[in-house]
Chain A
């Protein structure tokens, strides 16, 4: 059973427009959520995170929104740039020192 779900395997967006990547989770004990970006032949890199006590966190062009009642979070990238083309992983954790649980990823392609 998948606790973190990214239901869109891929997304294509035009340069300058908004990219919205979605993530759903089933475990109500998750209290911290993260997004990672991964380029081919490289390791994933941390992008942005949000605590369950917040509903929004912003860092430059990247904003993560959390809707706890719907068990849903989303990553907004505005404006999208060709360099944003990568695979994006959503991850979550419960309290304590439990490892992160990752979704399957969404491949974003930003077209110039």
Chain B
């Protein structure tokens, strides 16, 4: 199994509060991704990173920001959480050397009340 951890695994927060989710990898992979999974929508890409300090937007990036200051950590921040951001968030990694498979972390269940 790829060495990916996500923290926290569960979080309940109130509308309007900032929230940061962390993805940590021990594989030294170049690419990291944040997805959200919602019923009826599958997996949708929020943001991704192709190297330290190199990030780009995905399909559903509004309301989210990311940072990657070192290879192993990719942070997802909800500046002011809304109820529509209640979801399960998955981080994924890929080494980028010939392989196209992405490997996913265990997920973070976020509830915004």
Chain A interfacial positions (CB closer than 8 Å to B)? 6, 32, 34, 36, 41-46, 49, 89, 93, 97, 99-105
Question: Closest residue of chain A to B50, judged by CB?
Answer: A97
User: Which residues of B in the span 19-64 have a Cβ within 8 Å of any Cβ on A?
Assistant: 31, 33, 35, 40-45, 48, 50, 58
Question: Closest residue of chain A to B105, judged by CB?
Answer: A43
Asked whether, in the complex, the Cβ of A49 is within 8 Å of the Cβ of B104, the reply is: no
Chain B interfacial positions (CB closer than 8 Å to A)? 4, 31, 33, 35, 40-45, 48, 50, 58, 90, 92, 96, 100-107
In the complex with contacts A42-B106, A97-B31, A34-B45 CB distance below 8 A: no
Chain B contacts of A101 at CB under 8 A?
45
Docked Cα-Cα span, A99 to B45, in Å, equals: 8
Chain B contacts of A105 at CB under 8 A?
42-43
How many pairs of A and B residues are in contact by the CB < 8 Å rule?
49
Name the one of B40, B43, B96, B106 contacting A102, with C-beta atoms under 8 angstroms. Answer: B43
Asked whether, in the complex, the Cβ of A43 is within 8 Å of the Cβ of B90, the reply is: yes
In the complex with contacts A97-B50, A99-B33, A99-B48, A104-B103 CB distance below 8 A: no
Name the one of B31, B41, B101 contacting A104, with C-beta atoms under 8 angstroms. Answer: B41
Question: What is the CB-to-nearest-CB distance from B51 to chain A, in angstroms, rounded to a whole number?
Answer: 10
Chain B contacts of A104 at CB under 8 A?
40-42
Asked whether, in the complex, the Cβ of B104 is within 8 Å of the Cβ of A43, the reply is: yes
Chain B contacts of A6 at CB under 8 A?
42
Question: What is the CB-to-nearest-CB distance from A50 to chain B, in angstroms, rounded to a whole number?
Answer: 11
Chain A contacts of B50 at CB under 8 A?
97
Asked whether, in the complex, the Cβ of B106 is within 8 Å of the Cβ of A43, the reply is: yes
Question: What is the CB-to-nearest-CB distance from B105 to chain A, in angstroms, rounded to a whole number?
Answer: 5
List 5 A-B residue pairs with CB atoms under 8 Å apart, sorted by A's residue number: A42-B106, A44-B43, A49-B100, A99-B33, A101-B45
